[in-house]
Chain A
Amino acid sequence: MITVLAVHFAVAAVAPFLFRKFGRNSFYALAAVPAAAFVWLILQHGAVYAGAPGAGGSVPTGVAEVLPWIPELKIELAFRMDALAWVMSLLVLGVGALVLIYCARYFKDKDDYLGGFGAQLLAFAGAMFGLVTADDLLLMFIFWELTTVLSYLLIGYARTRLSARRSALQALVVTTAGGLAMLVGLIILGSSAGTYRIATILELAPTLVTGPAAGAVATAVVLILIGAITKSALVPFHFWLPGAMAAPTPVSAYLHAAAMVKAGIYLVARLAPGFAETPYWLPLVLGLGLATMLVGGYRALRQTDIKLILAYGTVSQLGFLTMVVGLGEPDAALAGLALLLAHGLFKATLFLVVGIIDHQAGTRDIRKLSGVYRSSRALAIVAAIGAASMAGVPPLAGFVAKESVFEAFLHYSTAAGPWGMVILAGLVLGSILTFAYSARFMWGAFAVKPGVEATPFKPVKPAFLAAPAILSLLTIVFGLWPAPVDGWIQPYAALFVPAGEDAAAAAGHLALWHGLTPALGLTAVTFALGLFMFYGRTAVARLQGLVPAWIDGDRTYQLAIGALDDAAVWITGRTQRGSLFFYLSVILTVAFVLPLTALVLADKPPPGNLFFIDPNSPLQIVVGAGIVIGALAAVRANKRFLAVLMVSVTGYGIALMFALQGAPDLALTQMLVETIILVAFVLAMRSLPAELRDRTGGRYRVIRVIIGAAFGITMVFVAIYALGARVAAPVSLEFPKLAYEGGGGLNIVNVTLVDIRAWDTFGEISVLALAATGVASLIFVRGRGDRLRTSATVEEGSVGRQQPKRSAGPGNTRDAAALAMSRRFAASSRDAWLVAGRTMAPERRSIIFEVVTRLIFHSMIVFSIYLLLAGHNLPGGGFAGGLTAGLALTIRYLAGGRFELREATPVSAGALLGIGLATAAASGVAPLLLGGQVFQTAILQFWLPVFGDVKFVTSTIFDIGVYVVVVGLVLDVLRSLGSEIDEHFEEHPAEPSDEQEAGGIAAETTAKGKA
């Protein structure tokens, strides 16, 4: 069974390629799969029915296959082929193969998406087979949903048509909603029974139904029935099935007549042997079934589209089937499965015939079709057999099945009293309607209608007609010789027979001729009244026209969906207002209200050992005051650079705080970072206006203050309580020893970074590389911009030259004079101090700065390397060293411009980042190759001529990687925010590079920038 399934899905996966190569004939190849499976199924008959139903009910349990899947969740790939599954598979695989054969002539080679369509149809056959053979509730549910999804795709095949899209979605929504209810029911049932294995649950059913969990089980059964009702299109969810007729006709034939809608019937049939006695079962099954049968039949009589006649007919028949299969009596079970088979045969036939008519005539409207019988007799005969079987005319399958159904319900009605009589009357009425719409279908599709032109009709090719012809042949065979079918179903019917009784006697037999029975009488009544309704069809139509429109399920669905849409839009409009301020306010308000409430409600005393002045460093309070003042000034500042400076003040203050707390590494790093950030800010914000306008105005200021203050206070109290709650000794008490003995270093923080928590640091430098690349790509847009001309190619004094137009303004005579002066003095062509200094415009150069840069650059680089290497034992390390080197590069850039930066770094930033990451990674992997662990450190001690005894710790290599990455990051920031923005200015001199100088000019240039 698992192989059969796997083959279906595997072939479906390659189907699109087949279609690309062989066009529509690939359908034949696809049809071979279910056809072969069908043959396999026939061969399995012996095994499945081994130990045939003897007298007294030794019921064969069928063939089982189990493959463990998720044992923790008790989900298994459990399959079981028993009589019910075998009969269902017969239908699924047989009709599947025929429909695929039919598709090969129904579609054209030039139809779009044919490959996907074929694959979906075949996969559907596989999923349906899995559904009927699954022996695990959850596995069955998976296949159930799989058929729903595939049905959605198949209905929506004509994706350019609105009706197809909408019907597909409707079918999906309705069946999935039912499926969800069913899932809940399945889980309740499974957990009540303690197993999800269907066979076991059915064995346990008698105890479950009467046991302590009887209420839960009854609820579960109702929920599962809801799933079955939606899937099988019973009232009140019947509307999706006629809508689904937007699907191509082969799909309608297979999914919406023979297979998928039978899934609900199958589920009812599967559970009926155990759960038909639960309290809500019979009212639900019989009530909704009968309502569906009558509504479907009534509405089928009103349709003018022959496909819709069939669709409503199917709805009607599904209600009929549900009643019969769900009754829970052996004779009804026998009749039900027989009817299921008969219905699959004749309804598939009729749909396929409709497809042929549509294909050849271009319409399905009975008001336009006329005289099709004359054009194609063979088609008409095939259709007539199907329709007669639907109406229950002897000697066809439909007659045999319906006879048994009447027999079963006659038997039931005598036992069940007045309600039984009502049901029986309803059944007969439904059958009369069935007869009438069958006749109407035949008349509408084939008859010659007075006053309607004969429909032009292209002759039907035998290959096209083959599939429906085979089906109708089977209908005749089943009708004339029902014994084999009887044999297939008997074991299933025997499940309903109480132990000790004779199964064969209780269920009865399928037969063409039972003698003159009351059932035959009912059939005769049906025929007579059905014929009467057909001949009086104009009167019936007039009568139907007089009845006001009923509550329409489809309309209700539209209204419900519309209301849901409106509610969603309303809620979205109220909550998603598009304002970041609003979102943040909500989030932050929650973030302080919840913890504060918890703190207040808990009402715990504050922890002891609170202190304001640390005995070890009393100066903290002074520095803290400075930080707070800086922060407040930053908030109040209305000039951009002032605000930046004030934030820097807090940053430097924090560095001081680190130093006072006993953290020299942090102080050093924070100091360097603050400096570089300050430079980056100035570089990036050159082009932005100086004023910081606050457009939000005073309206929300109070809210901001409240949120800010409340959040700050909350953080303080949360921190107090969290810190007060700590009782365990810090893990870091071990760190000094670990650092010295394991890491071979004295600087505990540095060893922590490069050894004890090396993974952390490795992650961090990866983030640095990412951020650096991000900055570069934001500014350069195309690529990382790792190419820049060398200074040798650049004209002297060309970089950053002020535009003559600007300096020659009438009010700027002093500036102009200063400019001329500086040009006269600084026009030196020698590369006296810096390599690329000459490329700068004279007015941008500062000789003192150049000299100082020349003097300190190399010292700084050497110092950075010292920090890097000494960091293992003294304050410093890769981060501090890298930042120092970055600072050196920054100075060089500021003094000599972007070409100087280019000269200073022969290796591109991208390469640096790569080299750094590779070095760090190599230092992690290398120990692994030498038989150690990742990032394991080795301490090497040796003697060198000049240095004397050297103690080299391999984690230094990791630190070198960190160093290189940090240098790469700073370089990327300088190249992007510095060099590239310089270049932007020079390329677009009209842009407001000095906008902050004068308001009038700023306004003018802004306007230009916008234009």
Chain B
Amino acid sequence: MSVNLTLLTVMGALYACGIYLILERSLTRVLLGLMLLANATNLLILTTGGYAGLAPLFHQDTDPGQYNDPLPQALILTSIVISFAVTAFMLGIIYRTWVLARQDEIQDDAEDRRVAKTPSFDAEDDSVVPVETSEFPLTMIGTDGQSVSDVPAGAEATVTVADRTLDAEAAASEEQPGSRNVTIPGKEGSGQ
């Protein structure tokens, strides 16, 4: 199989420039780099066709080997149009980023940075759990010795905190470390 070094050299240069550009922070340059990479890849596919030849338009008397290979051409045609669509999409992204954030640059991922700084103490894993000696801790909340045990259905046990009355279970689970799902019922309504 013959190898066209001119095409390959141009391809190599395009790859080098494309890679250099996509390593930049500017989104526009990244997009331009991608376009150069696409062009370089098209050249690579073209090289697989070997020597330049006749345009692949069928003629009865022509030997098939004399045409330039039509298969890579079909692949490149597909690639060109897809690259166009992708470029348009990237342009949309660049514009959107600009409108939203006035940014034309790739930002460092703040979430990744945050993860890297995670402290080794994790409330879920490491906080001290108070000893629980009952699954029904609030059944004893009755004011007198008589009204113990089950709260009748429909009536919530309540705790008075300062000037407000809280749902007893909500108040209790608030005291468990790590429970963030409890909202203190404000004046607007109940905790749900």
- Given A360, A569, A654, which contacts B116 in the complex, CB threshold below 8 Å? A569
- Given A162, A719, A761, which contacts B178 in the complex, CB threshold below 8 Å? A162
Contact A677 B84 (CB under 8 A): yes
Chain A: minimal CB distance from B112 (Å):
3
**Measured between alpha carbons, how far is A774 from B84 in the docked complex, in Å?**
13
A426 at the interface (CB under 8 A from B): no
- Residues of chain B lying within 8 A (CB to CB) of residue A613: 6
Number of interface residues of A (CB under 8 A): 161
Given contacts A584-B22, A749-B73, A1010-B102, contact A778 B95 (CB under 8 A): yes
Mark each residue of chain A from 924 to 942: 1 if its CB lies under 8 Å from any CB of chain B, else 0.
0000000000000000000
Contact A973 B80 (CB under 8 A): no
- Given B3, B96, B133, which contacts A720 in the complex, CB threshold below 8 Å? B3
**Measured between alpha carbons, how far is A287 from B23 in the docked complex, in Å?**
61
**Measured between alpha carbons, how far is A358 from B99 in the docked complex, in Å?**
61
B191 at the interface (CB under 8 A from A): no
- Given A662, A676, A694, which contacts B68 in the complex, CB threshold below 8 Å? A662
- Given B32, B77, B178, which contacts A644 in the complex, CB threshold below 8 Å? B32
Chain B: minimal CB distance from A5 (Å):
31
Contact A359 B118 (CB under 8 A): no
Contact A160 B55 (CB under 8 A): no
Mark each residue of chain A from 550 to 591: 1 if its CB lies under 8 Å from any CB of chain B, else 0.
000000001001100110010011101111110011001000
Chain A: minimal CB distance from B47 (Å):
6
- Residues of chain A lying within 8 A (CB to CB) of residue B184: none
**Measured between alpha carbons, how far is A963 from B82 in the docked complex, in Å?**
14
Size range of the chain B interface in the assembly = 35 or more
Given contacts A358-B136, A712-B16, contact A663 B104 (CB under 8 A): no
Given contacts A360-B149, A579-B108, A677-B84, contact A753 B58 (CB under 8 A): no
- Residues of chain A lying within 8 A (CB to CB) of residue B110: 578
Contact A749 B74 (CB under 8 A): yes
Q: CB within 8 Å of B: which of A573-626?
A: 573-574, 576-581, 584-585, 588, 607, 609-617, 620-621, 624
Chain B: minimal CB distance from A88 (Å):
29
- Residues of chain B lying within 8 A (CB to CB) of residue A712: 11-17, 19
**Measured between alpha carbons, how far is A165 from B176 in the docked complex, in Å?**
12
Q: CB within 8 Å of B: which of A137-195?
A: 158, 160-163, 165-166
Given contacts A657-B46, A736-B64, contact A879 B77 (CB under 8 A): yes
- Residues of chain A lying within 8 A (CB to CB) of residue B5: 610-612, 720
Contact B98 A688 (CB under 8 A): yes
Given contacts A363-B140, A660-B52, contact A607 B3 (CB under 8 A): yes
**Measured between alpha carbons, how far is A607 from B52 in the docked complex, in Å?**
19
Q: CB within 8 Å of A: which of B26-47?
A: 26, 28-29, 32, 35-36, 39-40, 42-44, 46-47
Chain B: minimal CB distance from A973 (Å):
5
Given contacts A161-B176, A634-B17, A879-B81, contact A737 B64 (CB under 8 A): yes
- Closest residue of chain B to A459 (Cβ to Cβ) is B149
Chain A: minimal CB distance from B42 (Å):
7
Contact B179 A162 (CB under 8 A): yes
Mark each residue of chain B from 65 to 93: 1 if its CB lies under 8 Å from any CB of chain A, else 0.
10111111110111011111111110111
- Residues of chain B lying within 8 A (CB to CB) of residue A681: 91
Contact B104 A628 (CB under 8 A): no
Contact B176 A723 (CB under 8 A): no
A732 at the interface (CB under 8 A from B): yes
Chain B: minimal CB distance from A432 (Å):
27
Contact A647 B8 (CB under 8 A): no
**Measured between alpha carbons, how far is A818 from B112 in the docked complex, in Å?**
53
Chain B: minimal CB distance from A771 (Å):
4
Contact A624 B125 (CB under 8 A): no
- Residues of chain A lying within 8 A (CB to CB) of residue B95: 684-685, 687, 778-779, 977, 981
Q: CB within 8 Å of B: which of A378-401?
A: none
Contact B133 A363 (CB under 8 A): yes
Contact B111 A578 (CB under 8 A): yes
**Measured between alpha carbons, how far is A342 from B111 in the docked complex, in Å?**
55
**Measured between alpha carbons, how far is A469 from B37 in the docked complex, in Å?**
78
- Residues of chain B lying within 8 A (CB to CB) of residue A774: 89, 92
Contact B3 A610 (CB under 8 A): yes
- Residues of chain A lying within 8 A (CB to CB) of residue B126: 558, 562
Mark each residue of chain A from 846 to 877: 1 if its CB lies under 8 Å from any CB of chain B, else 0.
00000000000000000000000000011100
Contact B20 A662 (CB under 8 A): no
A473 at the interface (CB under 8 A from B): no
Given contacts A635-B17, A749-B73, contact A108 B1 (CB under 8 A): no
A704 at the interface (CB under 8 A from B): yes
A826 at the interface (CB under 8 A from B): no
Chain A: minimal CB distance from B24 (Å):
7
Contact B70 A736 (CB under 8 A): yes
Chain A: minimal CB distance from B54 (Å):
6
B190 at the interface (CB under 8 A from A): no
Chain A: minimal CB distance from B9 (Å):
7
- Given A368, A663, A733, which contacts B46 in the complex, CB threshold below 8 Å? A663
- Given A579, A620, A651, A684, which contacts B7 in the complex, CB threshold below 8 Å? A620
- Closest residue of chain B to A167 (Cβ to Cβ) is B129
Mark each residue of chain A from 755 to 773: 1 if its CB lies under 8 Å from any CB of chain B, else 0.
0010011001001100110
- Given A160, A305, A585, A711, which contacts B179 in the complex, CB threshold below 8 Å? A160
- Residues of chain A lying within 8 A (CB to CB) of residue B8: 716, 719-720
A715 at the interface (CB under 8 A from B): yes
- Residues of chain B lying within 8 A (CB to CB) of residue A565: 120, 122, 125
- Residues of chain B lying within 8 A (CB to CB) of residue A1009: 102
**Measured between alpha carbons, how far is A640 from B32 in the docked complex, in Å?**
10
- Residues of chain A lying within 8 A (CB to CB) of residue B15: 708, 711-712, 715
Given contacts A693-B26, A716-B11, A719-B47, contact A662 B94 (CB under 8 A): no
Given contacts A578-B111, A879-B77, contact A692 B26 (CB under 8 A): yes
- Given A609, A615, A688, A709, which contacts B16 in the complex, CB threshold below 8 Å? A709
**Measured between alpha carbons, how far is A364 from B148 in the docked complex, in Å?**
15
Chain B: minimal CB distance from A440 (Å):
16
Mark each residue of chain A from 734 to 763: 1 if its CB lies under 8 Å from any CB of chain B, else 0.
111101100001111100110001001100
- Given A566, A661, A689, which contacts B120 in the complex, CB threshold below 8 Å? A566
Q: Contacting chain B: which of A119-127, A665-673, A791-799?
A: A665-673
A731 at the interface (CB under 8 A from B): yes
Mark each residue of chain A from 861 to 904: 1 if its CB lies under 8 Å from any CB of chain B, else 0.
00000000000011100010001000000000000000000000
- Given B62, B68, B88, which contacts A973 in the complex, CB threshold below 8 Å? B88
Given contacts A684-B94, A720-B3, contact A731 B85 (CB under 8 A): no
B188 at the interface (CB under 8 A from A): no
What are 5 of the A-B contact pairs (CB < 8 Å)? Answer: A581-B25, A680-B91, A720-B3, A735-B56, A879-B77
Contacts A661-B53, A666-B77, A1010-B102 given; 10 further ones with Cβ under 8 A? Answer: A160-B182, A162-B176, A162-B177, A162-B178, A362-B139, A581-B106, A634-B36, A727-B1, A748-B57, A768-B82
B binding-site residues for A, Cβ under 8 Å: 1-26, 28-29, 32, 35-36, 39-40, 42-44, 46-49, 51-59, 62, 64-65, 67-74, 76-78, 80-89, 91-96, 98-99, 102, 104-106, 108-113, 115-118, 120, 122, 124-127, 129, 131-140, 145-146, 148-150, 153, 173, 176-179, 181-182
**List of 7 A-B pairs having minimum Cβ-Cβ separation, nearest first:** A573-B116, A712-B16, A578-B112, A662-B68, A771-B85, A778-B92, A578-B109
